[in-house]
């Protein structure tokens, strides 16, 4: 297991521990169980339906080899190199160059690319981006994100429960002041953990994607071009709340830069990603922290 994977496991474990501690402080055992069951039911329903939901959200249209032979063959070749089944291929009617992968497992996966990315990027840059998305499928990052979102959602529910129950639950000797502090800080800490896990998975997708495509420098170039375009070309016809909930799925945040504090960013700094990929281009090894 590499350093990125170990870091993901550590952060997910930390999120689970935080959830259990907060549950005991705010709602006792009962509140902990209720919040977890509700959050698990909501998010795993989303896990099973996420591919259809997000594709519909972006008005993505499925295409085949007849309509897009060059793109279809590119995805098929890269999927074969990644030892993955051919994913369903979709085109998003947006000018902003971007892409995402979705699906609960490799057998039910989809790759969606915008019309803009097909036009703007070179063939090799596009190969790098598609390989990055296939890496997310290979690494089962949708499942990882669902598990983390379940914990974060449950923490938010516990915080809401605390408004209707005595702070600290009914446990004798509980400290309402401590519970109040936890009520305020726990959801923020959970979102920071969620963002950190997402950033770690992006680094890993960069590494694996570069191995699949065999051209780390082309993925680096594509990330720079997508980031610059995202600042100039907004996503049209998609609500900000929808983009906020799906921004982690894209290789570069589809929001223009500067909207979120770095601690809550779902993506690593692009220049840092580029530096690591260029190091990989020169040495053959990905630059871990």
pLDDT for 260 equals 46
| pLDDT band, residue 258 (cuts 50/70/90) | very low
> Per the domain annotation, does 103 fall within a domain?
yes
Task: Average the pLDDT over each of 49-58, 113-122, 126-135 and give the range with the smallest value.
Answer: 49-58
Within a domain: 258: yes
C-alpha 39, offset from chain centre: 18
Is the Cβ–Cβ distance between 31 and 165 less than 8 Å?
yes
In a domain, 166, yes or no: yes
44, part of any domain: yes
Task: Count other C-beta atoms under 10 Å from residue 29's C-beta.
Answer: 12
Instruction: Return the pLDDT at 203.
Output: 95
Tell me how far apart the alpha carbons of residues 56 and 17 are, in angstroms, rounded to a whole number: 35
What is the average pLDDT value for the chain, to the nearest integer?
82
Strand-pair partners of 102: 110
- Length of the chain as a residue count: 289
Model confidence at 259, pLDDT cuts 50, 70, 90, reads very low
Which residues neighbour 78 within 8 Å (Cβ) at sequence distance 6 or greater?
Answer: 127, 130, 131, 134, 212, 213
Between 185 and 258, the higher pLDDT residue? 185
Question: How buried is residue 6: exposed, middle or buried, by Cβ count under 10 Å (0-12/13-18/19+)?
Answer: exposed
Lowest mean pLDDT among 149-163, 207-221, 241-255: 149-163
4-13, 76-85, 278-287: least confidently modelled range: 4-13
Distance separating alpha carbons of residues 79 and 87, to the nearest angstrom: 8
Question: What are the tens digits of pLDDT across the range 192-224?
Answer: 877 888 899 999 999 999 999 999 999 999 999
| pLDDT at residue number 164 | 56
Residue of 77, 107, 123, 133 with catalytic role: 133
Q: Give whole-number Cα distances, 35 to 43, 81, 148, 171, in Å.
A: 12, 42, 14, 18
Domain assignment of residue 289, yes or no = no
More confident residue, 254 or 129: 129
What percent of the chain lies above the pLDDT cut of 70? 71
pLDDT at residue 2 greater than cutoff 80: no
The answer to whether position 88 is within a domain reads: yes
Q: Is 77 a catalytic residue?
A: no
288 domain residue, yes or no? no
Q: Which domain holds residue 195?
A: 3-283
SS (H, E, C) the chain: CCHHHHHHHHHHHHHHHHHHHHHHHHCHHHHHHHHHHHHHHHHHHHHHHHHHHHHHHCCCEEECCCCCHHHHHHHHHHHHHCCCCCCEEEEECCCCCCEEEECCCHHHCEEEEEHHHHHHCCHHHHHHHHHHHHHHHHCCHHHHHHHHHHHHHHHHHHHHHCCCCCCCCCCCCCCHHHHHHHHHHHHHHHHHHHHHHHHHHHHHHHHHHHHHHCCHHHHHHHHHHHHHHHHHCCCCCCCHHHHHHHHHHCCCCCCCCCCCCHHHCCCCCHHHHHHHHHHHHHHCCCCCC
Distance, CA of 117 to CA of 125 (rounded, Å): 10
Give the global pTM: 0.80
CA distance 92 to 117: 10
- Does residue 123 sit within a domain? yes
Contact 35, 184 (CB under 8 A): no
Check residues 3 and 119 and name the one with the higher pLDDT.
119
Count of domains observed in the chain: 1
Read off the pLDDT of each residue in 250-277 and give the average, rounded to a whole number: 79
- Above 70 in pLDDT, residue 178? no
pLDDT of residue 51: 74
CA–CA distance from 40 to each of 22, 33, 44, 152, 289 (Å)?
17, 10, 6, 10, 33
CB 101 within 8 A of CB 110: yes
Q: What is the mean pLDDT of residues 246-273?
A: 77
């Amino acid at each position: 297991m590499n350093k990125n994977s170990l870091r993901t496991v550590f952060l997910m474990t930390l999120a689970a521990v935080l959830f259990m501690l907060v549950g005991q402080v705010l709602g006792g055992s009962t509140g902990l169980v209720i919040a977890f069951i509700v959050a698990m039911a909501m998010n795993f329903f989303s896990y099973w339906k996420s591919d259809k939901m997000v594709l519909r959200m972006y008005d993505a249209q499925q295409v085949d080899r007849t309509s897009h032979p060059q793109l279809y063959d590119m995805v098929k070749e890269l999927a074969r190199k990644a030892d993955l089944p051919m994913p369903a291929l979709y085109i998003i009617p947006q000018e902003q160059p971007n892409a995402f992968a979705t699906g609960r497992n490799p057998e039910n996966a989809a790759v969606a690319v915008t019309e803009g990315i097909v036009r703007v990027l070179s063939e090799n840059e596009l190969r790098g981006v598609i390989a990055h998305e296939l890496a997310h499928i290979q690494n089962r990052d949708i499942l990882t994100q669902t598990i983390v979102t379940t914990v974060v959602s449950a923490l938010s529910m516990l915080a809401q429960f605390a408004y209707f129950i005595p702070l600290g639950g009914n446990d004798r000797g509980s400290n309402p002041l401590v519970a109040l502090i936890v009520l305020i800080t726990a959801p923020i800490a959970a979102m920071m953990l969620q963002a950190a896990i997402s950033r770690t998975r992006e680094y890993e997708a960069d590494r694996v994607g570069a191995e699949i495509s065999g051209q780390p420098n082309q993925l680096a170039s594509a990330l720079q071009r997508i980031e610059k375009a995202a600042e100039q070309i907004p996503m049209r016809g998609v609500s900000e709340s929808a983009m906020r909930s799906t921004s982690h799925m894209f290789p570069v945040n589809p929001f223009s830069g500067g909207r979120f504090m770095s601690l809550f960013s779902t993506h690593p700094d692009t220049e840092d990603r580029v530096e690591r990929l260029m190091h990989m281009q020169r040495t053959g090894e990905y630059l871990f922290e």
